[in-house]
Amino acid sequence: MAPGAIDSHTADFVVPKKDTLGLPEPALKRLTSAGIDLSEGYPYRPHRPLYLQDVYNIRNEERKYIEVGARADKSKKALFSAATKVTDLTTHIGTEIEGLQLKDLTDQQKDELALLIAERSVVFFRDQEISPQQQKALGEYYGEVEIHPQVPQVPGVLGVSVIWPALQATEVTPSFRRPGGASRWHTDLVHERQPAGITHLHNDTVPPTGGDTLWASGYSAYEKLSPDFRKYIDGKQAVYRSAHPYLDRENPNAGPQYIERTHPLVRVHPATGWRALWVNRAMTSRIVGLDKAESDLILGYLYDVYERNVDIQVRFRWTPGTSALWDNR
């Protein structure tokens, strides 16, 4: 158990620890210029839930959601006309927009950006001047902002986190063979009752070499499948698990267990109406209704469709001050 943990069946959370590493200079500058109170340090972890029951109860109700991309002008003229340059990075996935600041977008441009993210899967903006408060406001325009129980939160701006390799290494020491962090193909929050929509990642600091991020198109992965195979998996459900394990309050001696929820293997995006293959090697456990051997065989093939077809992937080289917004659906 981590230092500061409460070992009691009546206690639900781990007491948070403070970070003693110090924020990287660019992040520190961005937070202080935004008026963030860092007098108590940058929180290392929020109140981390210990038990399965607590995590299952997080956002465990049907929540109203408005897909703003569905109401957008399909030509995206307000967004594109304000940009100095718009570049599709590959045929199937990834677009970079130049000359715009995310913090200054109008509501019409935000709607059109949501549709572009839905169509192109991930959209990039370099040289962004954006505060944590403005990041959160943009997120709230698109839906409910997730406050992740496993990562540090910016003081006063819950739902925005700053993480960096030295901080991550306090939990798991990375190596070349096991780099840790988000180095495996995954989709955010697949274990939730309503999984993630848009994720916004902003990089203040980037390494001189490496640190690239790859995305793959779920639409194109689905289209790679033969028509008969698509018919077979359409309507199938799969079990998706959390990235982190927890204890069962009723039976803690059973050891760490993962949150599991069932979702469609193929999703239909509410803004585009396009079908997307929705599996990932890190967090998809099994296909409902199949024996383990059958499920493992099919899932292994579907993972390979995502991971081995480089024409449906985009690899992005970060520069300081770059934001990426992508659609987990």
β pairing state of 122-125 and 95-98: parallel
Average pLDDT over residues 286-299: 98
- Which pTM does this prediction carry? 0.90
Pairwise pLDDT comparison (166 vs 112), residue with the higher score: 112
How high is the mean pLDDT of the chain? Answer: 90
Q: What is the per-residue burial (b if ≥16 Cβ within 10 Å, else e) of 279-305?
A: bbeebbbbbeeeeeeebeebbeebbeb
Tokens 């790859």 correspond to what residue?
214
Summarize pLDDT for 128-181 with one digit per residue, the tens: 999 999 999 999 999 999 988 778 889 999 999 998 877 776 767 777 777 666
Average pLDDT over residues 109-115: 98
In angstroms, the CA 9 to CA 179 distance is 34
Q: What local confidence, expressed as pLDDT, does residue 9 receive?
A: 37
Summarize pLDDT for 248-267 with one digit per residue, the tens: 999 999 999 999 999 999 99
In angstroms, the CA 230 to CA 262 distance is 19
The ranges assigned to domains in the chain are 218-310
